[in-house]
Structure 1
Amino acid sequence: MATAGPDKIHRTWSVNDKFKVSVNKDNPDYTKAKMQFQCFFTTRDNVGLKTEERSGKTIVQFPVPQDKNSHSRSTLKETFRKCMIDFVTKDKSYVLISIDNIKYWTKREFCEVILEEFIKLAETKNAKLNHSVKLEFCTLDDLNFGEAVKACDAKIKGVKSIPVVQKDSRSHGPSVCIVKGSLANVKVDAIACTTSHDFDLSHGAVSAALLGRGGHELQRELYTKCGGAQAFGEVIPVYGHKLDCRVVFFGVMYPYNPKYAKGYKTSEEYYCSSIHDFVQRCLNLAEKRQLRSVAFPAIGAGVLNYPIHVVADEMFRTVDDWRGTYVNEVKFVIYPKDKVVLQEFERALKKYVTVSSSEIRHSGSIRTSHFNIPNQVLKLGPKVECRFPLPKGYTIEIH
């Protein structure tokens, strides 16, 4: 029987060969579902069903009875059946219901009622549903995930949930690239950013840009989650809201001060440790959420006044040393007008991007799909080692 441990963010059950059910801990906007039932609550019967097309998805306004009684259960089942028969097609057979905004019903009660009718549809022949269908309950909350899993275990008798198969760890770290632009405009799964000790996003250039694009909901959620205080080095995940990402990782870092640097022999050792810990924590959180791409600014190079060459070297070094399964792309986003920062990151890129002569002889070129740096020649010494894909447009000269 399925359990909802913190590292389990996806479960799947089979009702029969064609009808599947899953519970997914994810942002509903970033799933592959082409059909989404968007719940709203009403005290009226016979509410008309409305749909709209949004970003290639069909959104069905799904009325849910506000009162919980036998009549409401029947109404909810009838509405679900009608939506399935009227709107689900072979091309749009992946149906998603987000349960985070469900109120009046417990999450488990709601899921069980929906499942009862879904199983009934699977057991009866219907000309409009003679193809494969997947129903997914989606949530961002651990408790809601657990309640949905319990509902599926209870209703889908004799069927064990199938956990997502974990891939073996890669023998190398994710690819790395430098992107010129604003962190607020980058499209990735996760954005990482430091913030001031009071978590006011308007107090830093990068965080202020995220606030401006992400909306005030970003600030409100951060205040709610941090509780007014957070341990140094801790990272808080926040929903991306209007940003082009699933999640934003916010963490507090401090400028060099003997008060925070006890035990460090030098200021540079402190800088490296702070940068390493933040970048590594963010990558670990992204890996736990099975995210693919993470974007960072130049951590500490702004108001914290960390030496830029130390920032660039340590960020590349940390990603180079890190190993994971899901995260396969890291972007370092540098504002184009920050010429010195950009120069230091390009220097560090050349320092850490190396390839072996055997690989050159084998292929004649290096895969460069993750980079967008203008055509240049990268000169390397005779002792080279493969660590990163070569930047796009670079060629190899062994001298």
Structure 2
Amino acid sequence: MIVQFGSGRIELVLGDITRQEVDAIVNAANSMLAVGGGVDGAIHDAGGPAILEELQRRYPDGCPTGSAVVTAAGNLAAQYVFHAVGPIWQGGGKKEREQLQSAYETCLALAEKHQCRSLAFPSISTGVYRYPVDLAAEVALRTVALKLESSTPLELVRFVLFDQGTFGCYARVLETMLV
């Protein structure tokens, strides 16, 4: 599914984020920037040890929730990995929405800073952090669409979704944005 917003487009795909040929891949990281499971583990496995070595060297204190840091992409096809720290879902009353939006906004700012034309996101915080997928999709897609409608060098923002249920949620949210 591909939808145009301003000069850029949002694309939804079912697949493996480590295989994307884009300028930057977003990693759903933890605040200590330690290797975890899910998307994070897959990115470190595919990208090789250079990514973790750079994280430890450049960001020894980790990264706060709602922010992101950048490294080279190691063995991945991308040039950069943006390690975004999304919130752990605690029921919605602990500023989770604002933190998730900030994580996406920080990645979009990093993409602009590094002159990226294409960027691939996973569904941040919806795995072990238990953020409800429908609510996360709303935050993610609206934040990205708003950015694409402004002046940005980004031409493509691809959401690479791991399973059919997540893909379906994102597709439904994206369809409601077209009305």
TM-score when normalising by structure 1: 0.41
Q: For residue 48 of structure 2, what is the amino acid of its counterpart?
A: G
Q: Is the 8 A contact 1:256 1:270 kept in 2?
A: no
Length, aligned pairs only: 173
2:52 aligns with one of 204, 219, 233: 219
Equivalent residue, structure 1, for 2:70: 237
Summarize deviations over 1:340-387 as a string: whole Å, max 9, x none: 2121011112112x3xxxxxxxxxxxxxxxxxxxxxxxxxxxxx4xxx
3-state SS in 2 of match to 1:236: strand
**Higher RCO (CA-CA < 8 Å; seq separation 6+):** 2
- Which is higher, the Rg of structure 1 or of structure 2? 1
Q: How does 1:147-226 map to 2 (within 5 A)?
A: 172=6, 174-201=8-35, 203-226=36-59
1:249 aligns with one of 68, 82, 97: 82
For structure 2, the 5+ residue unaligned runs are: none
Q: For residue 61 of structure 2, what is the amino acid of its counterpart?
A: G
TM-score when normalising by structure 2: 0.88
Q: CA deviation at 1:268?
A: 6.3
Q: CA deviation at 1:269?
A: 7.5
Rounded to whole Å, the distance in 1 between the matches of 2:78 and 2:131 is: 27
Distance 1:296 1:247, change over 3 A: same
Summarize deviations over 1:66-118 as a string: whole Å, max 9, x none: xxxxxxxxxxxxxxxxxxxxxxxxxxxxxxxxxxxxxxxxxxxxxxxxxxxxx
2:174 matches 1:349: yes
Q: Is the 8 A contact 1:173 1:321 kept in 2?
A: no
Q: CA deviation at 1:229?
A: 3.2
2:89 matches 1:295: no
Rounded to whole Å, the distance in 2 between the matches of 1:334 and 1:256 is: 19
Equivalent residue, structure 1, for 2:107: 282
Summarize deviations over 1:274-304 as a string: whole Å, max 9, x none: 2211111111111122110010001111011
* Structure number having the greater helix percentage: 2
For structure 1, the 5+ residue unaligned runs are: 1-170, 258-265, 355-383, 385-399
Q: For residue 330 of structure 1, what is the amino acid of its counterpart?
A: V
Q: For residue 211 of structure 1, what is the amino acid of its counterpart?
A: H
Q: For residue 333 of structure 1, what is the amino acid of its counterpart?
A: V
3-state SS in 1 of match to 2:138: helix
- % identical equivalent positions: 27
Q: Is the 8 A contact 2:31 2:64 kept in 1?
A: no
